[in-house]
A and B are shown apart, each in its own frame.
Chain A
Amino acid sequence: MAVSNFDGVTDPTTAFFDGLRQGGRQPALARKSGVVRIDLDDNGRSERWFVAIDDGTVEVSKRNQAADSTFRLDKQLFGRIATGEANAVTAVLRGEASLEGDWNLVIVFQRLFPSPS
Chain B
Amino acid sequence: MSDELVQILDGNTFVVSDSRGDISASLTDPTGLFSYDTRFLSKWILTVDGQHLNTLSVDDLNYFETRFFLVPGTGTVYVDSKLSVIRQRAVGEGFEEQLTILNHDEQPVDLHVRIDVASDFADLFEVKDALAKKGSYTTRMDNGSLVLAYDRETYARWTTISSSAPVELDADGLSFDVHLEPHGEWTTDLQVLAGGLGIGAERRGRTSKARDLEKWVAEAPRLECDWEPLQRIYHQSLVDLAALRFSPPIARGRSLPAAGLPWFMTMFGRDSIFTSLQALPFVPELAWTTLRALGEWQGSRRDDFRDEDPGRILHELRYGELTAFEERPHSAYYGAADATPLFVILLDEYERWSGDRNLVRDLEYEARAALRWIDEYADLQGNGYIWYQRRNEETGLENQCWKDSWDSISYRDGRLPGFPRATCELQGYAYDAKLRGARLAREFWKDVAFAEELEQQAADLKRRFNRDFWVADGQYYALALDADGAQVDALSSNNGHLLWSGIVDKSKAKAVARHLLGPRLFSGWGVRTLAEGEARYNPIGYHVGTVWPFDTSFIAWGLRKYGFKQEAAQLASGILEAAELFGGRLPEAFGGYERSVTKYPVQYPTACSPQAWSTGAPLLLLSTMLGLEPVGEHLVVDPALPAGIGHLELLDIPGRWGRIDAFARGRMRVR
Contacts and interface: CB of A to CB of B under 8 A. Distances in A.
Contacts, number: 63
A84 interface: yes
Contacts of B643: none
B183 interface: no
A114 B365 contact: no
Interface in A52-110: 84, 87, 89-90, 92-96, 98-99, 103-104, 107-108, 110
B154 A94 contact: yes
A44 interface: no
Contact of B324 (A84, A93, A104, A115): A93
B252 A93 contact: no
Contact of B155 (A94, A114, A115): A94
Interface stretch (A4-12, A13-21, A24-32): A24-32
Contacts of B300: 28, 110-111
What bracket does the count of chain B residues touching chain A fall in? Answer: 20 to 34
Given A111-B300, A116-B303, A116-B305, A93 B199 contact: yes
A115 B302 contact: yes
B441 to A, nearest CB: 15
B460 to A, nearest CB: 27
B154 A96 contact: yes
Nearest to A93: B324
Contacts of B325: 90, 94
Contacts of A31: 361-362, 364-365
Contacts of B362: 31
A91 B249 CA distance: 16
A113 B154 CA distance: 23
Interface string B292-313: 1000110011111100000000
A93 B323 contact: yes
B365 A104 contact: no
A108 B295 CA distance: 9
A99 B248 CA distance: 14
B198 interface: yes
B332 interface: yes
Nearest to B36: A93
Contacts of A108: 296
B600 interface: no
Contacts of B303: 115-116
Contact of A104 (B155, B296, B331): B296
Q: Which 10 A-B pairs have the closest CB atoms?
A: A93-B324, A115-B301, A104-B250, A111-B300, A103-B249, A95-B154, A115-B302, A89-B331, A103-B250, A94-B324
Interface of B: 153-156, 196, 198-199, 249-250, 252, 292, 296-297, 300-305, 319, 323-326, 331-332, 361-362, 364-365
14 contacts: A30-B365, A31-B365, A90-B323, A92-B198, A92-B199, A93-B323, A94-B325, A95-B154, A95-B196, A95-B198, A96-B154, A108-B296, A115-B302, A116-B303
Interface of A: 27-28, 30-31, 84, 87, 89-90, 92-96, 98-99, 103-104, 107-108, 110-111, 113-116
